[in-house]
């Protein structure tokens, strides 16, 4: 992969920063209403969901606990998931009896989340729902019910606001698409 250039490599901005912030605020209001009086735990999946989690938790006005997991998929390439998931970092606290919302950056094939759902269900939460910033339904391989969705996007590989290509571009404040020649050098 050639050296990334955060400005020059971006072909189009799909979702500008202000639209991301507005949507996150809206999701925060909805979650605060739906989970009022409940024992809400947000479980975010590193590293892609980090900015989303950080903004979403601050948009929530009810008491909330957070936990972090990190997963990676075996094999795969910079733009394709293999579906074989490995847990790099597990939960640090019990979610037994808690109302859990998984906070994800993007649902693409759905394989990662499908694995996580089965894993977390085994930890006996009272309820388990999904909040995904981006939904890319065109590439779905397993059916996933998304309870809280930010944006539905077309079948394009996107970067920014936590999402990476070759571990870079996560710090862009918007969701964008890179120029074809950038992806081409995989």
Q: Kindly tell me which of 110 and 125 has the beta carbon lying closer to ligand IMP.
A: 110
Task: Answer for the pair 34, 60: CB distance below 8 angstroms, yes or no.
Answer: no
Q: Using the rule CB under 6 A, which residue among 9, 55, 108, 135 binds ligand IMP?
A: 108
Least distance from C-beta 162 to ligand IMP, angstroms?
A: 8
108 is catalytic: yes
**Measured distance CA(128)–CA(108) in Å, rounded:** 20
150 interacts with, out of Mg ion, ligand IMP, none, CB within 5 to 8 A per kind? none
**Measured distance CA(101)–CA(50) in Å, rounded:** 15
Alpha carbon 164 to its chain's center: 11
Place of tokens 């996580």: 116
3-class state of residue 184 by DSSP: helix
Q: Kindly tell me which of 35 and 110 has the beta carbon lying closer to ligand IMP.
A: 110
* Per-residue tokens: 159: 């970067």
* Per-residue tokens: 160: 């920014």
Q: Kindly tell me which of 90 and 124 has the beta carbon lying closer to ligand IMP.
A: 90
Q: Which of 96, 108, 147, 164 is catalytic?
A: 108
Asked if residue 163 binds ligand IMP (CB under 6 A), the reply is yes
Least distance from C-beta 132 to ligand IMP, angstroms?
A: 9
182 interacts with, out of ligand IMP, Mg ion, none, CB within 5 to 8 A per kind? none
Place of tokens 């081409």: 184
Residues of this chain that interact with Mg ion (CB under 5 A) are 45, 48, 105
Counting DSSP H helices and E strands in the chain, the numbers are 4, 9
Binding site for ligand IMP (CB under 6 A): 48, 81, 104-113, 157-159, 163
> Residues with catalytic annotation?
108
């Amino acid at each position: 992969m050639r050296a990334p250039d955060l400005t020059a490599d971006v072909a189009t901005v799909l979702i500008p920063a202000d639209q991301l912030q507005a949507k996150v605020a809206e999701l925060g209001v909805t979650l605060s209403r739906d989970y009022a009086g409940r024992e809400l735990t947000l479980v975010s999946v590193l590293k892609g969901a980090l900015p989303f989690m950080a903004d979403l938790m601050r948009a929530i006005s009810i008491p909330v606990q957070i936990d972090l997991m990190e997963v990676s998929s075996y094999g795969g390439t910079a733009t394709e998931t293999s579906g074989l998931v490995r847990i790099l970092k597990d939960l640090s606290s019990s979610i037994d009896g808690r109302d859990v919302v998984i906070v994800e950056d993007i649902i693409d094939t759905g394989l990662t989340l499908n694995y996580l759902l089965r894993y977390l269900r085994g930890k006996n939460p009272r309820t388990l729902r999904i909040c995904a910033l981006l939904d890319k339904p065109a590439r779905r391989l397993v059916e996933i019910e998304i309870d809280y969705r930010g944006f539905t996007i077309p079948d394009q590989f996107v970067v920014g606001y936590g999402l990476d290509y070759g571990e870079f571009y996560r710090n862009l404040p918007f969701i964008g698409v890179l120029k074809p020649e950038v992806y081409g050098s995989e």
